[in-house]
Amino acid sequence: MHTFAVARAVRGIEPLVANEIRHSRTGVVRGVRHREVWFEARPDADLLALRTADDVLLAAAVVDGVGPGRSALLRLARAAREIDARLLGSPGSGVEVSASFVGRRNYTRFEIEDAVGAELARPLRVPYHSRRDGRRPPGGAMAWRVTIEGEQAVIAVRVAGRPLHRRAYKTVSVRGTLHPPVAAAMARLARLDDGLTVVDPCCGAGTTLIEAAASGWAGAGLRLLGFDHDPAAVTAATANARAAAAASNAPGPRDASSAARADSTAHTGSAAGPPSVTQAGSAPRAGSAARAGSAARAGSAARAGGAAGGVPQDQPLRLAWAIADGGRIPLGDGAADRVLVNPPWGRQVPPAGLLSQDPATLWREVRRVMAPDGLAVALVHDGVPRGFAVEEVLEVSLSGQHPLITVLSRRRARASRG
């Protein structure tokens, strides 16, 4: 029996989440909404292994007819009342609910949360922890989410003990560190394959390369080299990579300087409409969600990687870090098959070294080290850099900003036919 699940996503990468679900055979995609992918999970699927998803939840009810009027609160409360939350595991310290909606409504997210949360907590005989007035629920509570788009709502419960985007390997952070699912999306867009050399000239805390290494679809034998002008960033990247390696018993990180010198002269080679699902109050669906939730939690504890952020044990790779200026990448011409980069935007992290004098120096260096058939995937805030052919562009929403994930090649752009 398949279970109806919801993958939450950063706005803009929903199609990549859907693609990962299909490619990994995690399930059958039934619909894509604002920041969500709805899918039927396969019985043996490891839901916590999804890298591009912010979170994964099991749907307990889908509620139609949820309009902008306040009567929608009664409809949602009634749907929550029909859910037997006892089938979905231990409530721990209580029940918490987080709600969001698209469009204008005559009610607030807190009113949605309170209407649903009180009904979910009642049969469990545990407290409901409201988020009103800035209150934060205690740890260990059963986490629910309500999302509304159009006149359709879903009430769902989190599979894991925390959101998937909170990677266990991120033991050290730096300013401007990249959101892991976005890093995973960039790695996916890079079309990684066997034996490629992958470079990040502004590696920060190492998130992009660690996500590339941890993705099962990334190909075997990757060579991953991370550089940063800030010694603290390189220290953070090394610690995080070591934590990821420990989770999978893979070889730990090493110094990138010798690897860089070896390469100094040579190149080393969506969306359907609303899904058809069981509606609110379906006991069989709730039961299947409970079974899937238990299996997912057991699977996450048993496997070394996945939600823990480890790299696959059967994937040979080399991951190394070094201090270097983004304006003078210590690699030979054409030495990088792929470049993944989240350059300093000058907002959280100001450009340093040669980039402080001329930020465009980074792009000249990226183009120089790229192999003739190479690709660069960059998260840019001030438009697409010059000197590249644009293969693909995705606008995403991050911390109130709307940067672009751009896929760039050295090939000249084709002349348009007029």
End of a domain among 253, 285, 304? 304
End of a domain among 304, 321, 349? 304
Cβ partners under 8 Å of residue 314, min gap 6:
none
Which amino acid appears at position 141 of this protein? A
Least-confidence region, from 85-89, 118-122, 238-242, 387-391 = 85-89
CA angle 240–36–114, rounded 5-degree value: 95
Residues 53, 29 share a domain? yes
For the cut 80, the answer to whether the pLDDT of residue 264 exceeds it is: no
Which tens digit of pLDDT belongs to each residue from 217-245? 555 688 999 999 999 999 999 999 999 98
Question: How far from 51 is each of 18, 367, 382, CA to CA, in Å?
Answer: 11, 28, 27
Cβ partners under 8 Å of residue 116, min gap 6:
76, 77, 80, 97, 99, 144, 146, 155
- CATH number, domain at 392? 3.40.50.150
Residues 316, 208 share a domain? yes
Query: What pLDDT does 412 receive?
Result: 60
pTM of the model: 0.84
Helix (H, G, I), strand (E, B) or coil at 389: strand
Mean pLDDT across the chain: 84
Least-confidence region, from 127-131, 233-237, 291-295, 355-359 = 291-295
Helix (H, G, I), strand (E, B) or coil at 306: helix
Residues 289, 190 share a domain? no
Residues 336, 392 share a domain? yes
Residues 322, 371 share a domain? yes
Contact 407/377 with Cβ under 8 angstroms?
yes
For the cut 50, the answer to whether the pLDDT of residue 70 exceeds it is: yes
Backbone angles phi, psi at 338, to 5 degrees: -140, 140
Cβ partners under 8 Å of residue 298, min gap 6:
none
Which stretches within 101-155 are classed as H helix? 109-124
- Going by pLDDT thresholds of 50, 70 and 90, the confidence category of residue 249 is low
- CATH number, domain at 137? 3.30.2130.30
CA angle 239–205–223, rounded 5-degree value: 80
Cβ partners under 8 Å of residue 330, min gap 6:
227, 257, 260, 261, 264, 322, 324
Which tens digit of pLDDT belongs to each residue from 136-165? 999 899 999 999 999 999 999 999 989 999
Query: What pLDDT does 270 receive?
Result: 31
Range of the domain at 148: 3-164+272-304
Domain assignment of residue 175, yes or no: no
Q: Provide the token pair at 118.
A: 């009180």
- Going by pLDDT thresholds of 50, 70 and 90, the confidence category of residue 297 is very low
Q: Report the 3 state secondary structure along 184-208.
A: HHHHHHCCCCCCCEEEECCCCCCHH
Residues 122, 244 share a domain? no
Domain assignment of residue 417, yes or no: no
For the cut 70, the answer to whether the pLDDT of residue 336 exceeds it is: yes
User: How many distinct structural domains can be found in the chain?
Assistant: 2
